[in-house]
Amino acid sequence: MSEKKLLRGSHTIAEAAVRAGCRFYFGYPITPQNELTEYMSSALASVPGGVFIQSESELAAINMVIGVSMTGKRVMTSSSSPGISLKQEGISYLAGQELPAVIVNTMRGGPGLGNIAPAQGDYFQATKGGGHGDYRIIVLAPGSGQELADFTKLAFEYADKYRIPVMILGDGMMGQMMEPVEFPDPIDIDSLTPKPWVLGGAKGRASRIIKSLVLDTAAMEEHNWKLHRKHQMIEREIPQVETFLTDDARMAIVAYGTASRIAKGAIKKLRGIGLKVGLIRPKTLWPFPERFFVEMSRVMSDFLVFEMSTGQMVEDVKLSLEGRGRVHFHGRPGGVVPTPDEIAKVITTIYYKEKLDKGN
């Protein structure tokens, strides 16, 4: 039986991870996501086989993740922007070694030490590889408490299915906001498909090596193409978007996470005064739902990308549309969370400037 609970976002992710069979968590304190680490410390102490380590650094945490992942068990780490930068070395190794893992980034204002307010400045880092080398990781962008729970479960499933690191990209607002959540029942860990590649001692089989060192350039090239083919498969299989009032819309606001919540508030208000605007919310940031934007360009002419950054996802929107629509941008970086009223004003200005009220 599923049950409904009122939880803050960071707790929701932690609870969902344990229910998804995650018995290993490593983390280092950083605001605004300490509640996640704290929740895991008590949750994993009360489940059989649970292991929690407060690591000496983000580097140590992600490398402990590598170790557990090599044994095939579900494992997670979490941090916020500066800490995620430190984890990038390990994420590159996870990608190169094709190891599953779940990494949570509760984004805050940056660059550098920045601040502890909600922001979306890590989009490039998350979706374009982040660490060294030619790789991608799956990036999920939940937009509600319920999605934090659902996407956490999904993250572990994708990680195992594709042997790839999966990042849950939230922000300080998503992490702190309390919302009702219906959790799925805990999974039976023993029911998970055994992984045929894990380390565990060469008993009754040949010894195994998990590595990313490939000195032969031809073999290294082939490994890169193999990863690329996997990326292409993921691009075909998992892109997800939510649309809101787009059927008759002349302009769509494109936003994810907290920004999409603000945009939705603005859209509801503007619909009340007759503006034909809707919302496109990418739920997967990598793979970016490119084909969906092409379809939407047949319905509407204008796209207003709104991000809590100076403009990062807007590049993917432009690349997806390839000139099939006018792309506008509004950004509030540095941890500023604008109100729906502010966004409504921006939408209204562009709407009339582009004469979208003059159509049929």
Partner 1 sequence: MKKVFSRPKSMKDAEFHYCPGCGHSIIHRLIAEVIDELGIQEKVIGIPPAGCAVLAYNYLDVDMGEAPHGRGAAVATGIKRALPDSIVFSYQGDGDIAAIGTAETIHAANRGELFTTIFVNNGVYGMTGGQMAPTTLVGQSSTTTPGGRKSERDGFPIDLSEMLAIANGSVYIERTSVHSPKHIIHTKKAIKKAFKVQMAGLGFSLVEVLSPCPTNWKMSPVRANELVDSTIIKYFPLKVIKDEVGKL
Q: Interface with partner 1 includes 258 (CB under 8 A)? A: no
Q: Interface with partner 1 includes 223 (CB under 8 A)? A: no
Angle, vertex CA 287, rays to CA 286 and CA 292, nearest 5: 125
Nearer to partner 1, 47 or 60 (CB): 60
Q: What is the rounded distance in angstroms from the CA atom of residue 154 to the CA atom of residue 137?
A: 14
Ordered DSSP codes for 48-77: TT-EEEE-SSHHHHHHHHHHHHHTT--EEE
Nearer to partner 1, 101 or 285 (CB): 101
Q: What is the rounded distance in angstroms from the CA atom of residue 357 to the CA atom of residue 55?
A: 56
Tokens of 164: 């790839």
Q: Interface with partner 1 includes 26 (CB under 8 A)? A: yes
Residues 82-101 that bind partner 1 (CB under 8 A): 89-90, 93, 97
Helix (H) or strand (E) holding 17, with range, is helix 9-19
Determine which residue in the list 63, 120, 127, 144 makes contact with partner 1, applying CB under 8 A: 63
CB of 151 to partner 1, least distance (A): 24
Closest CA to 319 of 286, 352, 355: 286
Q: Interface with partner 1 includes 43 (CB under 8 A)? A: no
- The piece of 4-12, 62-70, 265-273, 301-309 that touches partner 1 (CB under 8 A) is 62-70
Task: For 239, list phi and psi in degrees, rounded to 5.
Answer: -55, 140
Q: What is the rounded distance in angstroms from the CA atom of residue 220 to the CA atom of residue 212?
A: 9
Q: Interface with partner 1 includes 192 (CB under 8 A)? A: no
Determine which residue in the list 5, 208, 230, 268 makes contact with partner 1, applying CB under 8 A: 208
Q: Interface with partner 1 includes 59 (CB under 8 A)? A: yes
Which residues make up the interface to partner 1 (CB under 8 A)? 24, 26, 51, 53, 55-57, 59-61, 63-71, 73, 75, 89-90, 93, 97, 199-204, 207-213
